[in-house]
Structure 1
Amino acid sequence: MNAADIDGFAARIRNPESRMISAWVGIPDPLLVNHLAQEAFDAVVLDMQHGMWDLPSAAAAVSHVRIAGKPALARIPVGDFASASRLLDAGASGIIAPMINSAEDAKAFVKTTKYPPVGERSWGPSLALNHTGLSADDYLKNANDLTVAIAMIETRAALEAIDDILGVPGIDGIFIGPSDLSIALSNGDQVAPNAAEIDSAMQHAVACCSAHGKFACAFAGDGERAGELLKFGFAFVIAGAETAQLRSGARKQINAARKIVSGG
């Protein structure tokens, strides 16, 4: 995949027929993301909220992912909108912002991720210019379309304000965090990302996105759940975190070896 294909990610995810599967990485190792980017994922998301990435390592990882031929996105820490613009400067194709609970939160997010007249993103995309090969003028004219700003819906307040959030110019789509949403909707009683109540909320979110002409994304704990969410109409899903995939793969090989030894 060349730079033009990578930078076509925003157009692909905005397509109503989009059904993409992404890797999700919290371990701060650019070599690890390079390995995952060799697989048939459509993108790689760097988790800076609960993962251990700092800004320099995340910026380096964006380059590793792009060199491997895939677009890179980042989930920033809560309210860290300054890092959002800097990661876009580094060549990220999109930013996922957690805990966007209102239109006001969404507007604050847009300010740092979109250039005027939509937002107030400051100029300084040196690495993005290198990656895209665009002139400064062409990047300025096209950056708002080439990158996506994705608001996370993961609280009761956010779910109630979903139409207001989607109505904010510059918000390209939403991302459902089902674990946090299940905690919120159960008033702290359980973590149940696959519960029927969460399915209902997710289907409602997809319908809202469709009404606004925007896209919906979500985290899934594994490939089977990811497939279910794609059937719901989500455009972009996570098929489990890299830590779960790493441990699952290790467990599978250990069990296979012990099964042979035991004669099972």
Structure 2
Amino acid sequence: MLIASHPATKPVRALGGFFAMSLDTFILMFQRPFAFREYVIQTWFVARVSVLPALMLTMPYSVLLVFTFNILLNEFGASDFSGTGAAIGTVNQIGPIVTVLVVSGAGATAMCADLGARTIRDELDALRVMGINPVQALVVPRVLAATTVALALSASVIIVGLAGAFLFCVYVQHVSAGAFISGLTLLTGAGDVVVSLIKATLFGAAAGLIACYKGVYVGGGPAGVGNAVNETVVFTFMVLFAINVIVTAVGIQFTVS
């Protein structure tokens, strides 16, 4: 008991609890009953709070990318390849990263706060007493909602980012519109788009799992809920960069070969 309650073992126990809840979530996704109504409500909520910030954040990122890239291309007299750089940056990095930043900053924190408030009010214990599994009733629909919105939002962000890069290059930096369009598929193909969507899916699932875990296992009353929300954002960003590095490295092996 002394070893189990030692503060040094707390991160290990938390990591084990997270993986245990994640495994339960993936198993219960394919079992009945499925909380379809809760899934629809959470999907609409995450989409409602994420779409506008994600699209507004995409435009400056895309413009900054092509502006910096075109400065380098102009030095070599190859400004017609600006579409190539815009496609690589937007599809491979900006699309999925902007998506998860917004989903984790807006949707996941709200999920964590909601579940944390239910936990400190003993609502989850009441569900267990009634024979309802809180993971199946509350966690599964929220994780699926975050994953669905991240996947759909990533595709929208990519389209808006490429449109913004096109307008900036053509009307501000006076790049040929035909050259920009033809350069989009020079180095970016269907494989890169698939890898980008896989990234967004994994990002959304990770953000949903972290938010639900921090909300379900929150402690310390209302102050603990606030700390859990802050920790959700921090841990999600850390996982984001880890997943991004791994998936990018694996994706390059498939797309290049």
Pairwise same-fold verdict (TM > 0.5): no
Structure-2-length-normalised TM-score: 0.27
Structure-1-length-normalised TM-score: 0.26
Which structure has the larger Rg?
2
Higher normalized helix content (fraction of residues): 2
| Bigger RCO of structures 1 and 2 (CA < 8 A, at least 6 apart) | 2
Higher normalized strand content (fraction of residues): 1
